[in-house]
Chains A and B, each alone.
Chain A
Amino acid sequence: MSHQSDVNGDGTDGRETAGSVRPAVLSGAPSHDPGRPGTRSGGVPLRDPAHPVSRRAITLWLLEGAIWSVVLTAGSYFMAGWIGGARWSWLPGWVPDNIGLLPWVLGAFFAVLTVTESLWRYATHRWELTGDVVYARSGWISRDWVFVPVSRIQTVDKAQGWMERMLGLATVEIRTASHAGSSTIKGLDYRVAAGLADELARRAEELRDDAT
Chain B
Amino acid sequence: MPPASPDAGPPAGVVPAVPPATPSLRLSPKVLLTDPIRMLPSLFLPLAGVLFLGGFSPGSFVWAALGIAGSVVYSAVRWATFTYQVIGDRLELTRALVSRSVRTIPLERIRGVDVSHPPLHRLLGIAVLRIDTGAGGDDKQEGELDGVTVAEAERLKAVLLWHARARIARRAQSTREAVGKPTATAPAPGTAGAAGESAGPGTADRGAEDVGGVSAPVAGGTGPAEGRHEVGEATPERVFLVVPRKWLVYGPLSGAYLLTPFALVAGAVGAAFQWGGELGLARQAVWSAGEWLWARPLLLAAALAVLLLAMPVVGVVMYAVFNWDFTLRAREGYLVAERGLVTRRSVSLERRRIRGFELVEGLVERRTGMARAWAIVTGLGDSQTRGQLLPVVPRTTALDVVGEAVGPIATGLRSHPPTARRRRLFRAVFPWLVVAACAAPAAVAWSGPWWGPVVAALLLAGLGIPLGLDRYRSLGHAYDGSRLSVRSGSLRRSQAVVERRAVVGWTLSQTWFQRRAGLLTVTAGVGAGSGGYAALDVGEAEGVAFVAEVTPDWLAAFLAGEDPAVHE
Chain A residues close to B by CB (< 8 Å): 2-5, 7-8, 37-47, 49, 128, 130-131, 133, 135, 139, 141-149, 152, 176-183, 210-212
* Contact present for A47 and B527 (CB under 8 Å): no
Other contacts beyond A143-B515, A144-B507: 5, CB < 8 A: A142-B514, A142-B515, A147-B554, A180-B524, A182-B505
Counting residue pairs across A and B whose Cβ atoms lie within 8 Å, the total is 166
In the assembled complex, B97 has its CB within 8 A of some CB on chain A: no
Chain B residues close to A by CB (< 8 Å): 171, 189, 378-379, 501-512, 514-515, 518, 520, 523-528, 531-532, 534, 540-541, 543-544, 547, 551, 553-563, 565-568
* Contact present for A212 and B378 (CB under 8 Å): yes
* Contact present for B504 and A46 (CB under 8 Å): no
Q: Of all chain B residues, which has the CB nearest A138? A: B509
| Candidates A4, A8, A37, A178; contact of B526 at CB < 8 Å | A178
Q: Of all chain B residues, which has the CB nearest A44? A: B540
* Contact present for A144 and B508 (CB under 8 Å): yes
Known A-B contacts A45-B540, A131-B557, A133-B557; A210 and B189 likewise in contact (beta carbons under 8 Å): yes
Known A-B contacts A38-B560, A46-B560, A131-B557; A146 and B506 likewise in contact (beta carbons under 8 Å): yes
Interface of B is mostly: mixed
Contacts of A177 in B (CB 8 A): 378-379, 504, 527-528
A-B contact pairs, 11 of them (CB 8 A): A37-B566, A47-B561, A142-B511, A142-B515, A145-B509, A147-B505, A149-B504, A177-B527, A178-B532, A179-B532, A180-B532
* Contact present for A178 and B557 (CB under 8 Å): no
* Contact present for A42 and B523 (CB under 8 Å): no
Known A-B contacts A44-B508, A131-B557, A211-B501; A179 and B525 likewise in contact (beta carbons under 8 Å): yes
* Contact present for A180 and B526 (CB under 8 Å): yes
Give the interface centre of A41, A46, A142 by most chain B CB atoms within 10 Å: A46
* Contact present for A212 and B560 (CB under 8 Å): no
CB distance from B173 to the nearest CB of A (A): 14
* Contact present for A147 and B555 (CB under 8 Å): yes
* Contact present for A180 and B568 (CB under 8 Å): no
| Candidates B504, B553, B563; contact of A212 at CB < 8 Å | B504
CB distance from A129 to the nearest CB of B (A): 10
Known A-B contacts A2-B567, A38-B567; A7 and B504 likewise in contact (beta carbons under 8 Å): no
Contacts of B531 in A (CB 8 A): 178-180
Contacts of B532 in A (CB 8 A): 178-181
Contacts of B510 in A (CB 8 A): 42, 44, 142-144
* Contact present for A47 and B560 (CB under 8 Å): yes
Contacts of B561 in A (CB 8 A): 38, 40, 45, 47
* Contact present for A144 and B558 (CB under 8 Å): no
Contacts of A133 in B (CB 8 A): 554-555, 557-558
